């Protein structure tokens, strides 16, 4: 069964637009996580960025208290966040690149160039009983480097697929890249997640990519929730994951 991880970052983005720097405000990303779980989500994803532009420290600690499924902490590989993650003990961390000027995470980690520092973080997480996923582009060299680090998961960056989706030729090219990458990762013993830019229109075509374990989706679900409610938005996305052949 293909699983759904709901990313709640954009709930916090909306809150911070009005209540930046205040100890409380609405909407509440923790409540959003609980609603998503009640609707059937298999996990909750939240990105604690170094600049704290959306999710705040208090959110992460409350999420650790209330999430009953699987807490996935997206994070940059920087010492302060690594230390926090080791104390928080989410079920899994997803290491992602982080740039101050980007609106959201664009592009995957360069595992090849940062192998030494990533290896140390993977070791620390493994010793703490925390699984590690690396957010990477569907690239043969990056997948091979990820497998050598001994992490449990990779998360394939589907942003280029999402951008190319309206163009039939571009869509097929990106699906071929994702398919080849998923097969390579699976053969190397990695479990494969995917995410970025996935929505209610482009998700079903992704069913042809084999070996996927979980899709992490945020913006599309939160956007849909404005008109139909969060529980319904999650349930609708879950229905699109049905019948995934694996």
Run of H or E including 131: strand 131-136
Choose the catalytic residue: 10, 42, 47, 54. 47
Q: How far apart are CA 191 and CA 210, in angstroms?
A: 11
Nearest C-alpha neighbor of 134 from the set 123, 122, 117, 126: 122
Q: How far apart are CA 139 and CA 178, in angstroms?
A: 9
The verdict on whether 47 is a catalytic residue reads yes
Q: How far apart are CA 17 and CA 31, in angstroms?
A: 18
The pairing of strands 92-95 and 153-157 is: unpaired
- Is the CB of residue 94 less than 8 Å from the CB of residue 135? yes
Reading the block at residue 29, the tokens are 């990303």
Report the interhelical angle of 57-66 vs 79-88 (nearest 10°). Answer: 20
Q: How far apart are CA 158 and CA 196, in angstroms?
A: 5
Choose the catalytic residue: 42, 54, 157, 196. 196
Nearest C-alpha neighbor of 6 from the set 189, 214, 148, 170: 214
The verdict on whether 65 is a catalytic residue reads no
Tokens 């996305």 label which residue? 237
The verdict on whether 74 is a catalytic residue reads yes
Choose the catalytic residue: 74, 98, 174, 214. 74
Instruction: Tell me which residues are annotated as active site.
Output: 47, 74, 196
């Amino acid at each position: 069964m293909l699983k759904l991880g709901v990313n709640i970052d954009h709930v916090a983005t909306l809150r911070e637009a009005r209540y930046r720097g205040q100890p409380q405000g609405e909407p509440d990303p923790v409540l959003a996580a609980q609603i998503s779980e009640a609707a059937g989500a298999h996990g909750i994803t939240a990105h604690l960025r170094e600049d704290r532009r959306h999710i705040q420290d208090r959110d992460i600690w409350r999420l650790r208290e209330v999430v009953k499924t699987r807490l996935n902490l997206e994070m940059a590989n920087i010492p302060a966040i690594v230390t926090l993650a080791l104390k928080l003990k989410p079920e899994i961390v997803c290491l992602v690149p982080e740039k101050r000027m980007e609106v959201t995470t664009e592009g995957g980690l360069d595992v090849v160039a940062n192998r030494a520092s990533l290896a140390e973080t993977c070791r620390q997480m493994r010793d703490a009983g925390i699984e590690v996923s690396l957010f990477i582009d569907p690239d043969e060299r990056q997948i091979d480097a990820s497998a050598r680090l001994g992490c449990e998961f990779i998360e394939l960056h589907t942003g280029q697929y999402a951008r190319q989706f309206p163009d039939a030729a571009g869509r097929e090219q990106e699906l071929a890249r994702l398919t080849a990458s998923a097969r390579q990762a699976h053969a190397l013993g990695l479990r494969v997640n995917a995410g970025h830019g996935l929505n209610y229109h482009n998700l079903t075509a992704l069913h042809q990519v084999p070996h996927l374990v979980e899709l992490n989706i945020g913006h599309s679900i939160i956007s849909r929730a404005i008109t139909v409610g969060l529980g319904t938005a999650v349930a609708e996305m879950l229905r699109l994951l049905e019948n995934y052949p694996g």
